[in-house]
Copies of this chain bind each other. A is one copy, B any other.
Amino acid sequence: MVNNKARPYILVTNDDGISAPGIHALIMELKKVADIIVVAPSTEKSAVGHAITLSDPLRVDNFEKGDDWKGFSVSGTPADCVKIAVCSLLDKKPDLVLSGINLGANTGINVIYSGTVSAATEGAILGIPSIAVSLTTYINPIFEPAAKYAAKMALHLFETGLAEKTLLNINVPNITENEIKGVKVTKQGMARFAEKFEKRIDLKNRVYYWLGGSKADLDEPDDVDDKVVENNYISITPIQYDMTNYEVLEELKERIPDLDE
């Protein structure tokens, strides 16, 4: 338990890039209650999953958002940002990692493609209570409720801590605070994009493909992330990164072939 009269020291990152409006909205709210350090990708890194950069050098540059805040931009992924911040750039370990505010929900199967979530996962791997925050829109974002709730949850975790190897994945509907019905703890749904690749011809008459599609409407229970945000609640999913399927494990032992049988 940390002395809750102290201000938490929070590492802020995202996957939309350090210049994105979502991280700015988050920082401006967090600044009121915490000491902030910003280390975020220099450019947009959407759908990078839990990627880390092994084969290229990472560049780190100073970044200033007018008089509002300063930070470091990194030529890597969100997970790179958290790793290099904690392992190299910062003098002391942050109390919390906050990643967001992402444009676009990170719910259902999207969770495993999400750079926003991967930054918080990296924080959890490094032993730091971590939160990913996403907004369910790409256009006309209403950041205030998400920023406000993220700051509130940050203070809450600073006081109470969070289970080991766990992070919180928060998704906020893009409506005003008055329209938000409340907060629900959810499980990750299995909704995924019904993938469609569009085949196109470029200016040199060469074929290329572009990934599109819309989210398949699954018949899922009411307590999954996608349903809860659809119903105008904030969704909080506790996420962990042990991917073992324990249910299948024992059954598999009985039947796997040996190498030389």
Number of copies: 2
**Residues of B with C-beta under 8 A to A153:** 256-257
Residue positions of A touching B, CB distance < 8 A: 44, 46-55, 57-60, 79-80, 83-84, 87-88, 109, 111-113, 118, 121, 125, 145, 148-149, 152-153, 156, 160, 162-163, 165-166, 168, 177, 180, 182-183, 185, 187-188, 190, 192, 195-197, 199-200, 202, 206-211, 234, 236-249, 251-253, 255-260
B248 in contact with A163 (CB, 8 Å): yes
Contact between chains at B241 and A112 (CB < 8 Å): yes
A144 shortest CB reach to chain B, Å: 11
How far, in angstroms, from A57 to B252 measured CA to CA in the complex?
A: 40
Complex Cα gap A245–B237 (Å):
8
Which 7 A/B pairs are nearest by Cβ-Cβ distance? A49-B49, A49-B50, A57-B208, A240-B245, A238-B248, A49-B51, A238-B245
Q: Which residues of B contact A79 (CB under 8 A)?
A: 49, 113
Q: A58-B210, A195-B87, A238-B252 are in contact. Are A118 and B187 (CB under 8 A)?
A: no
Q: Do the beta carbons of A48 and B49 come within 8 Å of each other?
A: yes
Q: Contact at B182–A259, with CB atoms within 8 Å?
A: yes
How far apart are A61's CB and chain B's nearest CB, in angstroms? 10
The contact of A112 among B46, B243, B260, by CB within 8 Å, is B243
Nearest Cβ in chain B — how far from A20, in angstroms?
A: 14
Q: Knowing A49-B48, A211-B53, A243-B243 touch, does A255 contact B163 (C-beta < 8 A)? A: no
A118/B49 in contact, CB under 8 A = yes
A47–B53 CB distance below 8 A = yes
> Which B residues are in CB contact (< 8 Å) with A206?
59
Q: Which partner residue on chain B sits nearest A182 by CB separation?
A: B258
Q: Are B163 and A87 in contact (CB under 8 A)?
A: no
Across-interface contacts of A182 in B (CB, < 8 A) = 258-259
Nearest-neighbour CB distance to chain B for A83, whole angstroms, equals 6
In-complex Cβ contact of A55 among B44, B148, B200 (8 A)? B44
